Structure 1
């Protein structure tokens, strides 16, 4: 079995497992560069191939809030009746590589493998190598969107964010980040409030509202932020659809929990996406979050991609 055979069988298996996954490409066509380490294991009718990529962000960039500063990501293709076994060998080879290039014990380094959620092959091997399923990219197809629009929630009013909402929005964003940081996929950095303030100011100044505030009996206690094309164009690579919306943030202050504010914000978001003609909506959430995971799946979302992470990359 050669690299082309592995890629072909891998693509066929994913297409059968989930029709919303994008078409799988061979690794040399999937954005790998000539200096990226490539690994391959073949045993009988089974094979695993992978390419490792290293990325780094500065702590004063907004991306640093949702990842480690240095991330080593392995893109994998699996095939054959012993896919799990060859994947285990591939992970061992990758670990040997990481031991040479990553600082042991550095919390701001992470090893990440993103796997299709409906393709469980290799999950046991990832667990044995110290990875945990930390984050999910979830999808909600358009055929689940309610056409008539959301029902009114007593006492809840949703409106575009205004300049007077800047401190409230920054506070809600920071509260969400602090909570998500408990589950390993986010990092509360000193620059967080400054970064959120700059983004909120930009959203408020935009001519097309993308940041919304929910009031409960006049008190601003909820926040919603969305992206539609062209801003959400980056998300198209993760799903087989042309018009893709992205739900960036939805958070409700502790004082408004179980009041209907969260459901009202979700319904408002789906109405906006529906009006914009989105085929699917994507969002990220922390898998271990006991609030967001059941909430989003009750709203019609399901896992599409699962981010397996080991942080630090080398312990």
Structure 2
């Protein structure tokens, strides 16, 4: 059994979900992006944020940029370059509308949280700098939803570059959590000329880190991570360069950890092939 022991107070909730007396919260569709770069000294690195301790979901956890889908992300007039929503739907087992929403949410949320923008003035180019007051004004407008992602791209004459993204994983938050997400994971290269910055009010620290080093920090207890983050980093640690990651062939499997009562104790049980393993006890 590959599981993580939970505090005793979870037992009643788990029993309620198992017997049907408690209904789990419905998961919201979300997207997250592992932004990667090749460092001349340290090799392959991923960009991570630490969520502030006041967050309702995963406070203090190290995560990748991302967030929930905005219904307007499904606008079929969004300027688009690269694999079509239908192709993304095949990768993530989603219909075309949801696939478009997920890709747009991935690009939009990454910009909102880091100023990294996977879009360009042409189908073969990418914005080289997103610093400045005008970019910050647009970012704030996206955050408060006064500006849709399509309006943002149109105003700047930009095309979303879906070809810069690759599908990586699919995780669903366990039923015991009050806030749940049905999250598709993407990987993407850091665009040349841009800088990832700490601009999110949801984070109090950011770091470029080698995936293997992040895994060590998580397993030693230095960094707190949720299972999907740890699993993704463990997988990425097997690659040497961004190009290697982007060239990887992925078969997307849906993982949803299950809360169970085992020998009278509450456990969060992960699928055996999920890439995350906890010590016994």
Give TM-score, length-normalised by structure 2.
0.27
Larger Rg: 1 or 2?
1
Structure showing the higher helix proportion among its residues:
1
> Which of 1 and 2 has higher RCO (CA within 8 Å, sep 6+)?
2
